[in-house]
């Protein structure tokens, strides 16, 4: 009796795991929808800021980026091309048509058309909101 129970239980667990894997593969394929969504949001944000930079001024675009960084609990840093970290400089050198990059640390790097500098958005480590988000992601 125990043998039938254990075989059935193991079979159900394997069937459940296979169905979850199949669902993930069939529905999501090899693309990560969260990453696609993040890329689309970043591209739209960059297009808006670039439009302001082109049609108004670089200063106005930087003011808007600072406001965005403040409201989203991020830090905004500006780097000239020769002061970029090596990995970021290599990425923009290899991908000449790329105007933004989201690296493995979730730092967003932007390049505007009319500005020779690069802009980095990173999480503010002193922000209570960012601390709460990191705590929740560690708990789950």
- In a structure prediction context, what are the per-residue pLDDT tens digits for the chain, which is 140 residues long? 788 888 888 999 999 999 998 888 877 776 777 778 888 888 998 999 889 988 988 889 899 999 998 998 888 999 998 888 898 889 888 988 888 888 888 888 998 888 888 999 988 878 787 778 777 777 65
| pTM greater than 0.85 (yes/no) | no
User: What number of other Cβ atoms are within 10 A of residue 21's Cβ?
Assistant: 10
């Amino acid at each position: 009796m125990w043998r039938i129970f254990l075989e059935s239980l193991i079979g159900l667990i394997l069937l459940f795991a296979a169905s979850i894997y199949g669902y993930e593969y069939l529905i999501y394929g090899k693309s990560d929808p969260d990453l696609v969504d993040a890329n689309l949001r970043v591209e739209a944000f960059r297009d808006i800021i670039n439009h302001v930079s082109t049609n108004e001024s670089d200063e106005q675009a930087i003011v808007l980026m600072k406001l965005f960084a403040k409201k989203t609990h991020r830090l905004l840093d500006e780097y000239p091309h020769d002061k970029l970290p090596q990995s970021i400089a290599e990425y923009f050198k290899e991908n000449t048509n790329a105007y933004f990059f989201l690296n493995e640390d979730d730092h967003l790097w932007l390049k505007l058309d009319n500005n020779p500098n690069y802009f980095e958005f990173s999480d503010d480590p002193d922000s209570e909101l960012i601390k709460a988000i990191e705590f929740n992601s560690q708990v789950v």
